[in-house]
């Protein structure tokens, strides 16, 4: 068993609707994997199958070597799950909510209390531990959810849309906590449609579209594949006349567009800023600006689906 999570041709049908279609995925220990895709593309269904909360129509799943459909208790003991827009019992305090979870996990009272103090401190909720969960803001609820995941000291953390609906500051804080999980050697699978946030924490991402994982790999390799080049260079010059063919001829340039007279955007496979500068100056124009832009996941995503729709 080399993968912490392994799926093979995993499919789930709801009547005529195909929610997940032939998913093959392997996660190795300690990595952060992002399942990305629009709402309704099969991310949550995939997660539920990994936890044995819904049965696959076909295909196999192995989580830490266990089959979640056959042996869900072993899987759920080792994998923590933070559902999309998680809810708590409103009339119980944060501590009581966690205590219930601890009891469901079979922890003794003393052990539970010690762990609860620890996890509440780690997510920064110690000061509100005895407040009713009904009064919690969305961000606090999400953090309490993460505390619950940590409570069982999991090997895997599965987070469904962990940053959806959080304000930017809270989202950044939350992403920081996800990074801490990775530092502890916990394998993290997170799903999201907020690509730019995920980009910051994921080692590897998989793009979902209509139940299929259409793209998978590290961020750079995706950029390579979809955008034809991982680099974007923005050039600003004073006299653009006749410059375009010269820039286009630079080895490694795959695409060139003129945004305004004198302002070009180059897509290149290598970092060829030096060559660009040489050519601009050599042509007699003034070089006013030269910047390298890393493409964002949003761009990759948008570009990919534009191409898909175009072909269809």
Instruction: Give 138 or 234: the residue with its C-beta nearer to other proteins.
Output: 138
- What 3-state DSSP class applies to 87? coil
Q: Least CB distance from residue 85 to other proteins, whole Å?
A: 6
Q: Least CB distance from residue 53 to other proteins, whole Å?
A: 5
Dist CA 146 CA 148 (whole Å) = 5
Instruction: Give 76 or 279: the residue with its C-beta nearer to other proteins.
Output: 76
Instruction: Give 103 or 179: the residue with its C-beta nearer to other proteins.
Output: 103
Dist CA 49 CA 12 (whole Å) = 9
Instruction: Give 144 or 243: the residue with its C-beta nearer to other proteins.
Output: 144
Rounded (5°) CA angle 112-115-120: 120
* Pairing label, strands 5-14, 58-63: antiparallel
Query: Is 53 a residue that touches other proteins (CB under 8 A)?
Result: yes
Rounded (5°) CA angle 178-49-226: 60
Q: Least CB distance from residue 136 to other proteins, whole Å?
A: 13
Alpha helices in the chain (DSSP H): 43-50, 72-78, 94-104, 109-122, 138-151, 168-183, 195-199, 219-227, 243-248, 273-282, 297-311
Site string for other proteins, 77-116 (x = CB under 8 A): x-xxx-x-xxxxxxx--------xx-xxxx----------
Site string for other proteins, 216-255 (x = CB under 8 A): ----------------------------------------
Neighbours of 297 (CB within 10 A): 23
Question: How is residue 132 annotated by DSSP?
Answer: B
Site string for other proteins, 16-45 (x = CB under 8 A): ----------------------------xx
| Cβ atoms of residues 66 and 6 within 8 Å | no
Q: Least CB distance from residue 159 to other proteins, whole Å?
A: 12
Q: Least CB distance from residue 25 to other proteins, whole Å?
A: 19
Q: Least CB distance from residue 71 to other proteins, whole Å?
A: 5
**Number of residues lying near other proteins (CB under 8 A):** 35
Residue 145: exposure state from Cβ atoms within 10 A (0-12, 13-18, ≥19): buried
- Which region among 28-36, 67-75, 190-198, 238-246 touches other proteins (by CB under 8 A)? 67-75
Which tokens belong to 119?
Answer: 């996890």
| Cβ atoms of residues 57 and 13 within 8 Å | yes
Instruction: Give 14 or 179: the residue with its C-beta nearer to other proteins.
Output: 14
Query: Is 70 a residue that touches other proteins (CB under 8 A)?
Result: yes
Task: Summarize as ranges the residues that interact with other proteins (CB under 8 A).
Answer: 14, 44-45, 48, 51, 53-54, 69-74, 76-77, 79-81, 83, 85-91, 100-101, 103-106, 145, 148, 152
């Amino acid at each position: 068993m080399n993968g912490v999570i392994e799926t093979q041709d995993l499919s789930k049908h709801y009547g005529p609707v195909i929610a997940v279609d032939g998913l093959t995925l392997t996660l190795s220990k300690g990595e952060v994997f992002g399942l990305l895709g629009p709402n309704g593309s099969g991310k949550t269904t995939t997660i539920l199958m990994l936890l044995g909360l819904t049965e696959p129509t076909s295909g196999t799943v192995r989580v830490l070597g266990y089959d979640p459909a056959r042996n869900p208790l072993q899987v759920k003991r080792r994998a923590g799950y933070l559902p999309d827009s998680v809810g708590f019992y409103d009339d119980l305090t944060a501590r009581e909510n966690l205590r219930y979870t601890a009891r469901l996990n079979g922890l003794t009272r003393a052990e539970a209390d010690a762990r609860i103090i620890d996890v509440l401190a780690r997510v920064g909720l110690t000061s509100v531990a005895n407040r009713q969960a009904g009064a919690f803001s969305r961000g606090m609820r999400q953090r309490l959810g993460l505390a619950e995941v940590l409570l069982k000291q999991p090997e895997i953390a599965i987070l469904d849309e962990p940053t959806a609906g959080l304000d930017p500051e809270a989202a950044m804080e939350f992403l920081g906590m996800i990074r801490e999980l990775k530092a502890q050697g916990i394998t993290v699978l997170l799903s999201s449609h907020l690509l730019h946030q995920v980009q910051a924490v994921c080692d590897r991402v998989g793009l979902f579209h209509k139940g299929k994982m259409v793209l998978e790999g590290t961020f750079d390799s995706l950029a390579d594949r979809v955008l034809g080049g991982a680099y974007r260079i923005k050039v600003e010059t004073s006299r653009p006349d006749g410059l375009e063919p010269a820039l286009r001829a630079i080895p490694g340039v795959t695409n060139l567009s003129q945004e305004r007279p004198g302002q070009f955007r180059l897509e290149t496979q290598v970092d060829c800023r030096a060559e660009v500068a040489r050519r601009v100056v050599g042509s007699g124009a003034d070089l006013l600006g030269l910047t390298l832009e890393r493409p964002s996941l949003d761009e990759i995503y948008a570009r990919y689906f534009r191409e898909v729709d175009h072909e269809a």
